[in-house]
Structure 1
Amino acid sequence: MTRKTARAERADATRERILSAAERLFAEHGLFAVSNRQVSEAAGQGNNAAVGYHFGTKTDLVRAIVRRHNDDIEQRRLGLVESVGESTEVRDWVACMVRPTTEHLADLDVPAWYSRFCAQVMTDPGFRSIMVEESLGAPSLHRALAGLNRCLPDMPADVRAERFDMVRQLMVHIPAERERALDEGTTTPRATWYEAATGLIDAITGLWLAPVSAPRSATSRAGDGEHA
């Protein structure tokens, strides 16, 4: 029994080294440019097939990295959603979307790579669906989005979809830029992750509450030199 436990602990340690190495390499170089063999070597594994043995395909490895972080983020968001209750304030629901992630990032050691890893995944057509499924499909996030939607009942569906795309870009790339700056030791606009989250919440709240321009006719657009 003791021998089996020790073996299981060694396997767990190996998996953690592989996950950490993969997260860093993917963040720095992108997913396409990094092979499973490179990940195994960076994790200090003499067997170049270690990634395949412990995780399977690169897709399985990417999913494991996302889940490694998402469990904590999900628990943080569930608690925040519960505390917000039935709020009718847009800012409260935006905070539910932003702060759980930034709090998680604040607890990671520096240098960290998860935000940059997420940015790489979201811009890779072959792997983006994993992040969408694992992160954007989280139950707590759906509850936060439902609360947000209740605050904006009159927003047209197409405008809502457009602004959610804008919000997603901010939520992915602004933390990644801060993470990069912290790694490089350069100045950041905000001193802490909490303050950075506050600025991001301000911006996203303003985006959701921005006026919606009435659509113009095809004739008026053509008159301005635009194509219908």
Structure 2
Amino acid sequence: MTLNQSLDLQSSAELTVSVTTARTARAERANSTQEAILRAAERLYAEHGVFAVSNRQVSEAAGQGNNAAVGYHFGTKTDLVRAIEFKHRGPIERLREKMVADLGPAPDMRDWVACLVRPLTDHLAELGNPSWYARFAAQVMTDPAYHSMIVRDALSSPSLVEVINGIGACLPDLPPDVRAERNIMGRNLLMHSCAERERGLAEGAAVPRASWAGAAAGLIDAIVGLWQAPVTEVP
């Protein structure tokens, strides 16, 4: 090999390494920026509601000098809301899948309700204090602009659908309209109770249970009781 060929190969290799390094650095910066935006948006939406918070406020809270950073990295506010939900849905889904897989051969109502409650409370425990996800989810669930989207996305989870069907199978005689009503009640009880506990922990206030595991036990008791409550027929 001639000296010129050797130098050309060395120069090409160095250029490839340089380009790869630059691309890696850019990707890492982009990931860091996106994560900062997700954290800032989740906190602001949790504290003030989605409608009240602008993309510019999110960009500023994320330390981005460019006010268009949210649009550049995520698109619309709806896209950003979905990205926050997706970030948390993965860990919750994995916890639920494991719980469902570990169910015995004849799960009862409490078993199924535990598969509904504990994946969320275990995830919140893993997030530590302060966290904002429960309050974010509660805000989104009460916002007409996002409620249907979040419910639809949640029901794309096979394990969640299996849990809902499992609960229903434990109460075969429950009228369809009562079943739909209690499904909404149970969902609201779960999300808003977790949001209130999360707020109390973040503010250093007294909370009814010492741990998220304890809170889960109380929620399971309450939701099982809700589902099994008598039905009053009104003419």
Q: 8 Å contact 1:67–1:134 — kept in the other structure?
A: no
Match of 2:177 among 143, 158, 165: 158
Is 2:39 aligned against 1:39?
no
Matched AA of 1:150: A
- Equivalent in the alignment of 2:126: 107
Is 2:70 aligned against 1:63?
no
RMSD of aligned residue pairs (Cα, Å): 1.0
Is 2:139 aligned against 1:120?
yes
Alignment deviations for residues 136-163 of structure 1 (CA, whole Å, 9 cap, x no partner): 4321110111111111111110110111
- Equivalent in the alignment of 1:225: none
Is 2:41 aligned against 1:22?
yes
Alignment deviations for residues 88-112 of structure 1 (CA, whole Å, 9 cap, x no partner): 4100000000000000000113111
Q: Distance in 1 between matches of 2:222 and 2:40?
A: 33
- Equivalent in the alignment of 1:191: 210
Q: 8 Å contact 1:102–1:193 — kept in the other structure?
A: yes
Q: 8 Å contact 1:87–1:147 — kept in the other structure?
A: no
- Equivalent in the alignment of 1:169: 188
Return closer, same or farther for 1:135/1:10 CA change in 2, 3 Å cut-off.
Answer: same
Percent of residue pairs bearing the same amino acid type = 62
Alignment deviations for residues 159-217 of structure 1 (CA, whole Å, 9 cap, x no partner): 1011111101101100000000000000000000000000000000011111122x243
Contiguous gaps of at least 5 residues in structure 2: 1-19
Note the C-alpha offset of 1:130: 2.6
- Equivalent in the alignment of 1:6: 25
Return closer, same or farther for 1:216/1:34 CA change in 2, 3 Å cut-off.
Answer: closer
Return closer, same or farther for 1:216/1:60 CA change in 2, 3 Å cut-off.
Answer: closer
Q: 8 Å contact 1:73–1:101 — kept in the other structure?
A: yes
Alignment deviations for residues 10-31 of structure 1 (CA, whole Å, 9 cap, x no partner): 1000000000000000011111
TM-score (normalizing by structure 2): 0.89
Q: Distance in 2 between matches of 1:164 and 1:86?
A: 24
Structure label with greater radius of gyration:
2
TM-score (normalizing by structure 1): 0.92
Q: Distance in 1 between matches of 2:167 and 2:27?
A: 44
Q: Distance in 1 between matches of 2:145 and 2:38?
A: 19
Question: What's the secondary structure of 2:25's corresponding residue?
Answer: helix
**When the two structures are aligned, how many residues end up with a matched partner?**
216
Q: Distance in 2 between matches of 1:16 and 1:36?
A: 15
- Equivalent in the alignment of 2:69: 50
Matched AA of 1:98: V
Note the C-alpha offset of 1:70: 0.3
Q: 8 Å contact 1:88–1:150 — kept in the other structure?
A: no
